[in-house]
Amino acid sequence: MSVCSLGDWLNILALTALAGNLTQGDYRTQSLAIGGVFIAKMLPAVLLGPLAGAFADRFDRRITMVSCDVARFAVVLSIPLVGSYQWVIVATILVECVNLFWVPAKDATVPNLVPKEQLESANQLNLLVTYGSAPVAALLFTALSVVGDALNNLVPFMSGMDPTGLALIVNACAYLVSAGLIFTLRGIPKRDTAISTPSVLKQIVEGWRFVGGNRLVRGLIIGMLGAFAAGGAVVGVAKIYVVALGGGDAAYGVVFAAVFVGMALGMFFGLRLLRELSRRRLFGLAITVAGVVLAAIALIHNLVIVVMLTVVLGACAGIAWIIGYTLIGLEVEDSMRGRTFSFLQSTARVTLLLVVAAANPLAAIFGSHPLRLGDLTYQFDGSNLVLVVGGVLATVVGLLALRHMDDRKGVSLSEDLIAAVRGERPQAEATERVPGLFVAFEGGEGSGKTTQSRLLAIWLRDQGYDVVQTREPGSTKIGMRLRAILLDAAERGLSARSEALLYAADRAEHVEKVIRPALYRGSLVISDRYVDSSLAYQGAGRSLDPEDVSKVNAWATGGLVPHLTVLIDTPPQVGLARLGGAADRIEAEPLDFHERVRKEFRSLAAAASDRYLVVDGTLPSEQITRLIQDRVHEILPDPVPRESEDITGTMPAIRD
């Protein structure tokens, strides 16, 4: 496996370099030639993958792998002998077709060679030799390119051979060595239980059905595919960009190695350096920084600086890749995990194919343009354009992922990042993964949120869900005492800070005694008010620093954030007019207080639109109920009938 992986990476480098060398002199032709190699390498996997998987389950796997290695040896060896671009494309397609039969046979064989309890370690070793051989191949290619140039000048019969010819000969020998090694492994079984391999298109369709219903996984997939698309842009134009910077095949190998060296540094040291930072935040941040670095690479015309920035780019990619895979492993049910990974790999393959297919034609169409500013001349060509577009794409996707997945809303990212670099723990723990579902209702006085939360609880119970309906303040014994103080109209002298702290104290008790235990049981928790009420009432209404209010409540709740917040947006004049009886301490505040509260609720919803459902509170009650039910239905887990629980069942009715 190690020898074959080394040969595969060396094959990529040598073929792209050879394609560029054979078409030197015309920038557009060179761009299209290199893009054609990448398309030829990826297209067979998209079209013939299922057929090859079925073949591996029906024939002697040892003979299959040996035959494939011998075939790859012969085809790769013929490339420098023929020396034409047309044969490079044909040979690339042939090698990739053979690879499709070798890889499934190898993957199906590994579980039969190790004990079951060691299979995970074997798969980790598989990943290590697959990607760990890339920088070795890049350094070997660099050395062989230098030796090839020297031999062209010293050995007469090699003067007409392309400098990449030596790398291709070593590449072919690697496949021959692999064939000899595998031929000696007599313990490989001839066949095992057949494995059904769906088509790439079917994997994508089935995977998207699941991914589309899970907001976190959807954010992860979009972020990783965006990173793949940016990476595809880099892969497509790397060779011609290095040439434009004045480097040759050896420089191309160094840049290629820099990517994987950076990935290794990011995976092993980046995560340790920022171990205290929320992994969801770090995922989006890594992709965003990668986009900015890629844009810088596109604009800087210094090969040494480009190599250093490429290491940083690789580190960001390594951090995002390992976090994405880890979060999918944690967030996706075991029964769906394999299909999710299969969906990601299949979609990534198609994404790379489409981007690489588009990147080089775009570079070729744009061509090369010198920009003159007085005595200064700046060369901006198609490869620069593609890299800039890739950088912008990665930056946008990273920001979207950061916004979509942020589990510490209200807590400054810069403060979190500084604390993580210092090795300090964040001010509040990130929201933990719980089996239950948490829905909070927010709104001003008389908005109708209490009525709608009760109707939602009834609807969910009718569908077989275990529902805990609760409220703030006053859902616990201590909370009931705090509620009496907070809403007593006689307590008009209570300071704004004291009020904020009392609400936070009630919320801490509420989360500890009611919400978190219910979520860990797998229940659906519906709360009438939560943290956003403090941000609106004490932050905006009482004119306290919203950052202070956010920090206090993040600490009080341990960072627990609702999966969905329903805001019943009702004008204060309408809501207050609905109230009957004596007004409590909050209801008695002047109209401008309630206007500030409403404005802040709307601002919070706009800043976290993926977590909020904003409903017009002046609509008929039945229409509001339907809108809420439709939104909640999108995030519901499968119902598990259990004995329902309502901690407010013995409490008196509460006015909205």
Strands 645-646 and 564-569, bridge-based pairing: unpaired
Pick the last residue of a domain from 130, 158, 191.
Answer: 191
> What does the pLDDT read at residue 359?
75
Q: How far apart are CA 346 and CA 360, in angstroms?
A: 22
Q: Which helix (H) or strand (E) holds 372?
A: strand 368-373
In this structure, the answer to whether residues 185 and 214 fall within a common structural domain is: no
Residue corresponding to tokens 């404005």: 599
> What does the pLDDT read at residue 337?
56
Residue 305 is assigned to a structural domain of this protein: yes
In this structure, the answer to whether residues 244 and 335 fall within a common structural domain is: yes
> What does the pLDDT read at residue 166?
83
Q: How far apart are CA 134 and CA 503, in angstroms?
A: 56
Q: How far apart are CA 238 and CA 255, in angstroms?
A: 8
Query: What single letter denotes the amino acid at residue 400?
Result: L
Residue 73 is assigned to a structural domain of this protein: yes
Using a pLDDT cut of 90, give the percent of the chain over it: 20
The closest alpha carbon to 109, from 122, 99, 98, belongs to 122
Over residues 137-191, the pLDDT tens digits come to: 888 888 888 887 777 767 655 555 666 788 888 889 999 999 999 999 887 766 5
Q: How far apart are CA 247 and CA 245, in angstroms?
A: 6
In this structure, the answer to whether residues 268 and 315 fall within a common structural domain is: yes
Residue 656 is assigned to a structural domain of this protein: no
In this structure, the answer to whether residues 494 and 397 fall within a common structural domain is: no
Mean pLDDT along residues 41-62: 65
Residue 464 is assigned to a structural domain of this protein: yes
In this structure, the answer to whether residues 516 and 389 fall within a common structural domain is: no
Binning pLDDT at 50, 70 and 90, where does residue 43 land? confident
The closest alpha carbon to 83, from 171, 167, 164, belongs to 164
Q: What is the CATH number of the domain that holds 549?
A: 3.40.50.300
Determine contact, residues 445/586, Cβ cutoff 8 Å.
yes
- Directed axis angle between helix 200-211 and helix 334-366, to 10°? 110
In this structure, the answer to whether residues 509 and 628 fall within a common structural domain is: yes
Residue 359 is assigned to a structural domain of this protein: yes
Region of 640 on the Ramachandran plot (φ > 0 left; ψ -120 to 50 alpha; else beta): beta
In this structure, the answer to whether residues 497 and 515 fall within a common structural domain is: yes
In this structure, the answer to whether residues 338 and 461 fall within a common structural domain is: no
Using a pLDDT cut of 70, give the percent of the chain over it: 77
Q: What is the CATH number of the domain that holds 30?
A: 1.20.1250.20
In this structure, the answer to whether residues 164 and 256 fall within a common structural domain is: no
In this structure, the answer to whether residues 404 and 274 fall within a common structural domain is: yes
Residue 465 is assigned to a structural domain of this protein: yes
pLDDT at 135 > cutoff 60: yes
Determine contact, residues 408/281, Cβ cutoff 8 Å.
yes
Residue 432 is assigned to a structural domain of this protein: no
Q: Which segment of 136-140, 300-304, 412-416, 597-601 scores lowest on mean pLDDT?
A: 412-416
Q: How far apart are CA 507 and CA 59, in angstroms?
A: 64
Pick the last residue of a domain from 398, 427, 456.
Answer: 427
Binning pLDDT at 50, 70 and 90, where does residue 258 land? confident
More confident residue, 403 or 87: 87
Task: Report how many domains make up the chain.
Answer: 3
In this structure, the answer to whether residues 334 and 354 fall within a common structural domain is: yes
Q: Which segment of 119-128, 179-188, 553-562 scores lowest on mean pLDDT?
A: 119-128
The closest alpha carbon to 105, from 75, 47, 66, 132, belongs to 66
SS3 (DSSP) at 477: helix
Pick the last residue of a domain from 147, 166, 191.
Answer: 191
DSSP per-residue letters across 502-562: HHHHHHHHHIIIIIHHHHHTTPEEEEES-HHHHIIIIIIIS---HHHHHHHHHHHHTT---
More confident residue, 196 or 510: 510
In this structure, the answer to whether residues 209 and 273 fall within a common structural domain is: yes
Highest mean pLDDT among 103-112, 243-252, 343-352: 243-252
Greatest distance between any 2 Cα atoms in the chain:
105
- Domain range spanning residue 491? 437-646
Residue 411 is assigned to a structural domain of this protein: yes
CA-CA-CA-CA dihedral for 114, 116, 121, 124, to nearest 10:
90
